[in-house]
Amino acid sequence: MSDPTPQIWQSLAHLSIAELRYLPETGSTNADALAWAAQGAPDFSLVIADKQTAGRGRLGRGWITFPGAALAFSLILRDIPNLETIPYYSPWGALAVCEALEALGLQPEIKWPNDVLLERRKVAGLLLESSWQREQIEAAVVGIGVNIAPSAVPPAAELRFPADSVEGILGQPVDRWSLLGAILGSMAAWREKLAAPDFLAAWERRLAFRGEWVLVGDGLSPTRLGRVEGLAPGGQLRLTAEDGLPFSISVGEISLRPA
Q: Is 4 a residue whose pLDDT tops 50?
A: yes
Same domain, 15 and 87: yes
Q: What does the pLDDT average to over 65-79?
A: 93
- The whole-chain average pLDDT of the chain stands at 92
Could you tell me the CA-to-CA distances from 74 to 55, 223, 239 in Å, in that order?
11, 31, 32
Q: Is 60 a residue whose pLDDT tops 80?
A: no
Q: Is 56 a residue whose pLDDT tops 80?
A: no
Same domain, 236 and 201: no
Same domain, 95 and 24: yes
More confident call, 158 vs 179: 179
153 closest CA partner among 173, 167, 172, 136: 167
Q: What is the DSSP letter of 163?
A: B
How many domains would you assign to the chain? 2
Structure confidence at residue 258 (pLDDT):
63
Q: Is 57 a residue whose pLDDT tops 80?
A: no
Same domain, 122 and 177: yes
Same domain, 75 and 94: yes
Q: How far apart are the first and last CA of the chain?
A: 46
Using CB atoms within 10 Å of the CB of residue 118, give its burial: 0 to 12 exposed, 13 to 18 middle, 19+ buried.
Answer: buried
More confident call, 259 vs 193: 193
Q: CATH no. for residue 145?
A: 3.30.930.10
Same domain, 136 and 191: yes
Per-residue pLDDT tens digits for 118-133: 999 999 999 999 987 7
Same domain, 184 and 241: no
Percentage of residues in the chain having pLDDT higher than 70: 94
Percentage of residues in the chain having pLDDT higher than 90: 76
What is the distance, to the nearest Å, from the Cα of residue 223 to the centroid of all Cα atoms in its chain?
24
Structure confidence at residue 84 (pLDDT):
86
Same domain, 157 and 239: no
CB 77 within 8 A of CB 43: yes
Same domain, 160 and 229: no
Same domain, 127 and 46: yes
Q: Whole-angstrom Cα distance, residue 143 to residue 111?
A: 17
Structure confidence at residue 64 (pLDDT):
66
Could you tell me the CA-to-CA distances from 43 to 130, 170, 182, 203, 239 in Å, in that order?
13, 34, 19, 24, 37
Per-residue pLDDT tens digits for 85-110: 898 999 999 999 999 999 999 999 99
Per-residue pLDDT tens digits for 12-41: 999 999 999 999 999 999 999 999 999 999
Q: CATH no. for residue 246?
A: 2.30.30
Q: Is 59 a residue whose pLDDT tops 50?
A: no
Domain range for 242: 213-256
More confident call, 65 vs 176: 176
Same domain, 54 and 140: yes
Helices (H), the chain: 5-11, 29-38, 89-102, 166-170, 176-190, 197-205
Per-residue pLDDT tens digits for 213-248: 999 987 777 889 999 999 999 999 999 999 999 999
Q: Whole-angstrom Cα distance, residue 130 to residue 128?
A: 7
Same domain, 155 and 37: yes
